[in-house]
Amino acid sequence: MVEDEFLTQHEVSSFENYHGTVNAPVQSYWVIENSNPSRPAMSRMRETSERVQRLIKHAVETKTRLRAIGSVWSFSDVFAAEGGWMLATDRLNYIFKVTPSSLASNFFGSSRELIFAQAGAFISEINRKIETPSHDQALRTSGASNGQTIAGALATGTHGSATGVGALQSQVAGLQIITAESNLWLEHPARPTMNVDFARKLGAKLVRDELLFEAALVNLGALGFVHSVVLRTTGRYLLKSYRQNMLLSQVRRAINTLDFSNLNLPEADTDPYFFQVVIDPGGADSDVYVTTRYKICSPPSYKPDYKLESGHQLNNDLPGIVGELIENLPSVGPPVVSALLKTRQKPIDSEPKTPGETYDRTSGRKGVLGAALGVPIRYSGRAVDIARKAIADEFGPIILALRFVQKTPGLLSFTRFDPTCVLDLDGLNTSSARSVIERTMSLLDEAGIPYTQHWGKIHDLTPIRLERAYGSRIGLWKSARELLLPNSIEREVFANEMLGKLGLS
């Protein structure tokens, strides 16, 4: 018997993502939850692992695709299980502190730095757990909003927002993967963290293997079911945020080098912890809106207030801003986008807030889309010029923004350059906006500029573009997939059309 009161099947004919950019035909929608949602316990984690494994075995027996979903925040079809089953994980949100007795004998650090989270825990829930005065920790980085589950954010390569830190994958110390025949706790052999007893409580086998760990960090939902993860956090800090209006010519050196010495920033003696440039799509030397955030120590008594709509006020979530243009379709083009930016990207000088407060508000809506390209930082300026040309050629409703991320572990991490400039193209879900995205990539191809694409956003990946982006990493990732899923039928269970098109399944 596959179903029970904590694992239920619901017949549906299609499934749509959060933003409405993908609608996939499916057979069923499965919902799984812990046996006691309000009382986290390792014994219940093990029970849930057994339910997941039972469902995977059923999928293998019936040769049915199975894809886990969290908040379905991705713009792309990476989550889709065409003709198969979707498994909703957002009720699997246990979060635990790590005790010293669970640590490997040669772990370098303190158990206080570690947080153990189940797959469906939202970034916002993790922030609320660790940013209290008593726990006094914080994530080193997070995306521009907090609507993702931790497993979904990792699986798609979600990038961070700190100039000196890698993307979310750089915080992972270990993770649990369940397949039809195995339950594994994976770690990097050079960074042992948890011990055998910890894995045993999960019903898992502790495996320290570099190839498997590096593949699993950006797993695309194709290596098995990621059930839990241990994150290495840092001491709690606050972010002091500013925004200034500048010209593109003023910031060109900084975006190509992260050298801020000639840029008139609010705190001239300190490099910003976060640096974002939002670019007006029109004009010869167009306006840019520069957001900087500076890291300061958090007073021990500071109490976060997550009711503040700080994320909306600071305009972290650009698709949420551009969504305001929906009412003006179909006449929206770069001039209208420029006018919106002038009203929504005004100067700010905010009170310091924790990362969880700063990125607390999510404002996505149907009708918007986003793409994100990773380029080596030395090509940042050229990539901006190419994207602006694409907007002019296609007259699409797109906002350009740049963020910067250090090289990130993970075979298929799209923030793989040292460091990576992330070029965000956020706009309305229109044919002209999609044409801008494709035109940008075509022009980058013609210019010979290397780039990667965010797996969870709108992309135009092809086998050729994939090979250019990742080279030998693709073969290594596929080798890890065969080791984790030696049964070819099970590999097909965890596949989908996107993976097949790219030769990854």
% of the chain residues with pLDDT over 90 = 78
Q: Work out the pLDDT band at 282, boundaries 50, 70, 90.
A: confident
User: Of 18 and 494, which is predicted with more confidence?
Assistant: 494
Beta-strand relationship, 398-405 and 420-428: antiparallel
pLDDT tens for 385-417 read 999 999 999 988 898 999 999 999 999 999 999
Confirm whether 290 is domain-assigned.
Answer: yes
Confirm whether 76 is domain-assigned.
Answer: no
Confirm whether 431 is domain-assigned.
Answer: yes
pLDDT at site 310: 40
Q: Work out the pLDDT band at 258, boundaries 50, 70, 90.
A: very high
pLDDT at site 319: 66
Question: Which residues form the domain of 419?
Answer: 238-455
User: Of 503 and 145, which is predicted with more confidence?
Assistant: 503
SS3 354: coil
Q: Total structural domains in the chain?
A: 1
In the 3-class helix/strand/coil scheme, how is 299-332 assigned residue by residue? CCCCCCCCCCCHHHHHCCCHHHHHHHHHHHCCCC
Confirm whether 2 is domain-assigned.
Answer: no
Residue 323: is its pLDDT beyond 70? no
Amino acid at site 102 = S
Confirm whether 294 is domain-assigned.
Answer: yes
Confirm whether 422 is domain-assigned.
Answer: yes
pLDDT at site 236: 97
Q: Which two tokens stand for residue 2?
A: 């596959």
Q: How far is CA 295 from the centre of its chain?
A: 22
pLDDT tens for 417-460 read 999 999 999 988 889 999 999 999 999 999 999 999 999 999 99
Confirm whether 179 is domain-assigned.
Answer: no
pLDDT at site 312: 38
What is the distance between the alpha carbons of residues 220 and 505, in angstroms, rounded to a whole number?
Answer: 11
pLDDT at site 366: 76
Could you tell me if 49 and 35 are in contact, meaning their C-beta atoms sit under 8 angstroms apart? no
Residue 373 phi, psi (nearest 5): -115, 135
pLDDT at site 326: 58
What is the distance between the alpha carbons of residues 412 and 103, in angstroms, rounded to a whole number?
Answer: 28
Per-chain mean pLDDT for the chain: 92
Q: Which CATH number goes with the domain that contains 399?
A: 3.30.70.2520
pLDDT tens for 142-186 read 877 787 899 999 999 988 789 999 999 999 999 999 999 999 999
What is the distance between the alpha carbons of residues 84 and 497, in angstroms, rounded to a whole number?
Answer: 11
Strands (E), 165-263: 172-178, 183-187, 205-208, 225-232, 234-235, 237-247
What is the distance between the alpha carbons of residues 500 and 31, in angstroms, rounded to a whole number?
Answer: 26
User: Of 142 and 224, which is predicted with more confidence?
Assistant: 224
pLDDT at site 320: 65
Ranked by mean pLDDT, which of 70-84, 280-294, 403-417 comes out on top? Answer: 403-417
pLDDT (average), residues 124-149: 91
Task: Please list the alpha-helical segments (H only) found in 324-462.
Answer: 334-344, 355-358, 380-394, 431-447
**Among 147, 142, 96, residue whose Cα is nearest residue 365:** 147
What is the distance between the alpha carbons of residues 469 and 94, in angstroms, rounded to a whole number?
Answer: 36
Q: Work out the pLDDT band at 17, boundaries 50, 70, 90.
A: confident
Residue 12: is its pLDDT beyond 70? yes
Confirm whether 81 is domain-assigned.
Answer: no
- Residues ≥6 apart with Cβ < 8 Å to 501: 463
Length of the chain: 505
Residue 90 phi, psi (nearest 5): -70, -10
